[in-house]
């Protein structure tokens, strides 16, 4: 349901559907797909500019619509605009009341939206807090959120959903760091104190390894794979040879490839470690890529839609059609690593760097400036030869 032109009404605040609905003068009612309703106000701070040199325009959370009435939201928005016109950034300045945890959390979420790799990450960030934290501490003033309150949120999920709980703790900490810098909190962040004091129970987790094909079986599988004409087969062949992650292959763009230098450079924003990774291209890899240039697509491995990559399930479904059970696409990275460990004169760091893994501690990494490309190039040539022809390096 779309908002009517002009001002909002109490009835519209209750009944409007998902979206951002304006009340005028920068005040908006935001309705989430879940039905949650909250107020935000957009103001332009007089005389201040952002990094691009444009006027500083910022969104501020004013609280949930179930707590803050329409008139109260208008009053708060008016105060924010008044401060902005006086060249005062309204972020917590000029406010006498202590903001609640949810209000700060939603403000942090808005500010961090441009920093996430995709909208899904940003939505997961706020969804975790909305599911576990807001029901218990969302309405508490941030000055009153201490160790007992944080433990009340974390303990119920700490053992049953440990990974979720760890992410939840990180997000609570990020939220509580903000009001401390603005003078709304004193003392150390309670999440930090809880970690240092080891108050939470120790959780022993079993490492879940991706099911991998024996490296000795890869050449026979690759030979069968090479008989397939599907784009998924080409992508899987390239994945096997490069030992790359599924997303790295499927999201590959032609602009990332330098065929003169025989290099595929994956930008940092597409890497798990947020660090650029160079993959040396072997003749076998290039033989897969060359025919695909004729498609003139923006992506290397195009799916059913023009200029769009194929689904991240495409290669796995191909494995199932080939009756290869109990094996994951990611598992071919493990097969490569196992093969490399069996080869003579292959240092561990070369194999790990080929997988774009972090090698060494922080100090060692500070001095390790090189990605050892030429040594990795030799290793990938040997791997390509083994995969395609079953060739084994001399001992």
pLDDT tens column, 286-309: 999 999 999 999 999 999 888 899
Query: Of 79 and 377, which is predicted with more confidence?
Result: 377
CATH number at residue 180: 1.10.150.130
Read off the pLDDT of residues 9-51 as tens digits, 9 standing for 90 and up.
Answer: 999 999 998 888 988 888 999 888 878 888 888 888 776 665 5
47 plus 90 within the same structural domain: yes
* Domain count across the chain: 3
Confidence label for 2 from pLDDT (cuts 50, 70 and 90): very low
Confidence label for 377 from pLDDT (cuts 50, 70 and 90): very high
Taking the whole predicted model, whether its pTM rises above 0.75 is answered as: no
Average pLDDT, the chain: 84
Angle at the Cα of 392 from the Cα atoms of 390 and 393, rounded to 5 degrees? 150
Residues 6+ apart with CB under 8 A from 215: 335, 336, 338, 339, 342
Read off the pLDDT of residues 108-138 as tens digits, 9 standing for 90 and up.
Answer: 887 777 676 666 777 889 899 999 999 999 9
pLDDT of residue 93: 54
Residue 85 belongs to a domain: yes
Q: What count of residues does the chain have?
A: 395
Q: What does R_g of the chain's alpha carbons equal in angstroms?
A: 27
Task: Take residue 110 and report the two structure tokens written for it.
Answer: 């808005």
Name the percent of the chain lying above pLDDT 90.
41
7 plus 131 within the same structural domain: no
The sheet with strand 277-280 has its strands ordered as 257-258, 263-266, 277-280
Confidence label for 55 from pLDDT (cuts 50, 70 and 90): confident
229 plus 127 within the same structural domain: no
375 plus 228 within the same structural domain: yes
Categorise residue 243: left if φ over 0, alpha if ψ from -120 to 50, beta otherwise: left
Identify the domain containing residue 236 by its residue range. Answer: 215-389
249 plus 345 within the same structural domain: yes
86 plus 200 within the same structural domain: no
Residue 394 belongs to a domain: no
Read off the pLDDT of residues 324-376 as tens digits, 9 standing for 90 and up.
Answer: 888 889 889 999 999 999 888 889 889 999 998 876 555 344 444 578 899 99
Task: Take residue 315 and report the two structure tokens written for it.
Answer: 């290669």
CATH number at residue 357: 1.10.443.10
Contact 291, 297 (CB under 8 A): no
pLDDT of residue 49: 63
237 plus 378 within the same structural domain: yes
159 plus 287 within the same structural domain: no
Q: Residue 395, exposed/middle/buried by CB under 10 A (0-12, 13-18, 19+)? A: exposed
CATH number at residue 58: 3.30.160.390
CA distances from 86 to 49, 50, 82, 97, 315 (A): 14, 17, 7, 20, 58
Residue 313 belongs to a domain: yes
């Amino acid at each position: 349901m779309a908002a009517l032109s002009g001002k909002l009404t109490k009835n519209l605040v209750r009944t409007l559907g998902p979206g951002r609905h304006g009340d005028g003068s920068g005040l908006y009612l935001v309705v989430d797909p879940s039905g949650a309703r909250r107020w935000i106000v957009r103001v332009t701070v007089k005389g201040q500019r952002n990094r691009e040199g444009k006027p500083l325009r910022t969104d501020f959370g004013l609280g949930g619509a179930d707590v803050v009435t329409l008139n109260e939201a208008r009053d708060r928005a008016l105060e924010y605009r008044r401060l902005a016109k006086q060249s005062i950034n309204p972020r917590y300045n000029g406010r006498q009341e202590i903001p609640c945890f949810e209000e700060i959390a939603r403000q942090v979420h808005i500010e961090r939206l441009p920093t996430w790799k995709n909208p899904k990450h940003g939505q997961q960030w706020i969804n975790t807090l909305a599911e576990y934290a807001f029901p218990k501490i969302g309405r508490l003033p941030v000055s009153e959120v201490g160790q007992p309150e944080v433990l009340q949120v974390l303990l119920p999920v700490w053992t049953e959903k440990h990974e979720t709980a760890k992410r939840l703790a990180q997000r609570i900490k990020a939220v509580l760091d903000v009001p401390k810098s603005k003078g709304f909190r004193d003392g150390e962040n309670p999440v930090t104190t809880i970690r240092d004091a080891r108050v939470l129970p120790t959780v022993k987790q079993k490492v879940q390894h991706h099911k991998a094909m024996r490296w000795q079986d890869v050449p026979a599988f690759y030979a069968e794979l090479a008989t397939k004409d599907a784009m998924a087969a080409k992508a899987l062949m390239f994945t096997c040879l490069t030992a790359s992650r599924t997303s790295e292959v499927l999201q590959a763009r032609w602009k990332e490839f330098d065929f003169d230098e025989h290099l595929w450079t994956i930008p940092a924003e597409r890497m798990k470690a947020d660090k650029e990774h160079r993959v040396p291209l072997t003749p076998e890899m290039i033989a897969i890529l060359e025919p695909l240039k004729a498609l003139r697509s923006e992506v290397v491995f195009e799916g059913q839609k023009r200029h769009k990559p194929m689904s991240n399930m495409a290669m796995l479904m191909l494995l199932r059609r080939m009756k290869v059970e109990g094996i994951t696409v990611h598992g071919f990275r493990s097969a490569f690593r196992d093969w490399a460990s069996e080869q003579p004169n292959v240092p561990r760091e070369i194999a790990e760097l080929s997988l774009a893994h972090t090698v060494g501690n922080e100090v060692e990494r500070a001095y390790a400036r090189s990605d050892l490309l030429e040594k990795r190039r030799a290793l990938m040539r040997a791997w390509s030869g083994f995969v395609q022809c079953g060739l084994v390096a001399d001992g």
